[in-house]
Homo-oligomer: A and B are copies of this chain.
Amino acid sequence: MEKINIILVGFGHVGRAFFELLKTTYDACQFRYGLQLELRGIARQKGIMLLSSTQKVLSPSYFSEGELDNLDDWIKEITISDLLNEFNQGVLVDCTPSNLTSGEPGLSLIRLALEKGWHVATASKGALVLKPDELKDLAKEKGLVIKASAAAAAALPTIDVGQRALAGTEIMTMEGILNGTTNYILTRMAGGLDFNQALKEAQEKGIAEPDPSIDIDGWDTAAKMIIIANEVLDSRIKLSDVQVRGIRGINRDIMEKANSLNKILKLFGKCYQEKAGSPWKIEVGLALLERHHPLAMINGTSKGIVFYTDTMGWIAVSGGQSNPKGAAAALLKDIISIYRP
């Protein structure tokens, strides 16, 4: 049985879901994978809770994430760096919010973890799309890994499929519907709503953020496709390299035009080479899909990706629930994959 130290940073929706998931899967991870996943501490803005020294959540079976909030054990006097020093090594789980402009706080956090000899599993996109060179080099130098399934469409498997299930093939192109909010809006517009009605409905349902720009302007799709490409194709694409167009300005006329052509309008992230051997390029924008396209029937908040290969043909993956639990499950999968034989 291998004991794995886990430190969780960020205690919002995803961090809380990850905390609960670690508790419920604690025994199963031992039984199935021989991994004892020991949550050693949680860091958030209100302070740090040292779980091993408080003895309160040693085998994560006490307390719900809500009850943890009310404990007096959130310490302001120690830093994440202290917490990392306290244990040998393990996985830092980054559940901080994505910031596609500064990359923070994820960027500083990932740097710190790698410098201290910790692997990283992250649900946060900013650092990975702004500084792929620096972080890849640092991880390589230290012999550590940064796992990013949770940042790359979460419960929809993308990176594993490209790396493992398609090993030995040449991937020629990847296309993805990677953003649930825009896909929901386009699905509802195909059903007759106009853009503002569909956006408002998505906001009322909690699907779209109060400020939906990152999603509807295509940046979330771009970030996810970059993270997938940089892992699967070992490229080093940055957000500034990508041509991004979103769905703002789409109106009923455009939807009806698509319909009259018997095609389906989707927001697509596409990764391709202009010719074999030339650098990988990513574009995000609207695509008019034939009805038999493998992603044409991905509706509502669902997501999907298709890989075009030389020897296996095309492989499409769809589904994966778009919620904090799904993201937490992607983080857990990444931790297991770091350590399993």
Contacts and interface: CB of A to CB of B under 8 A. Distances in A.
Contact of A157 (B166, B170, B329): B166
Interface stretch (A253-261, A270-278, A306-314): A306-314
A314 to B, nearest CB: 5
Contact of A155 (B28, B313, B325): B313
Contact of A297 (B21, B297, B315): B297
B317 A313 contact: no
Interface stretch (A80-88, A108-116, A332-340): A332-340
Given A297-B297, A320-B312, A333 B167 contact: yes
A294 B319 contact: yes
How many interface residues does chain A have, given as a range? 35 or more
A154 B80 CA distance: 46
A321 interface: yes
A165 B161 contact: yes
A167 B313 contact: no
Contacts of A335: 168
Interface of A: 21, 25, 28-29, 33, 155-157, 160-161, 164-170, 292, 294, 297, 299, 306, 309, 311-321, 325-326, 328-330, 332-333, 335-337, 340
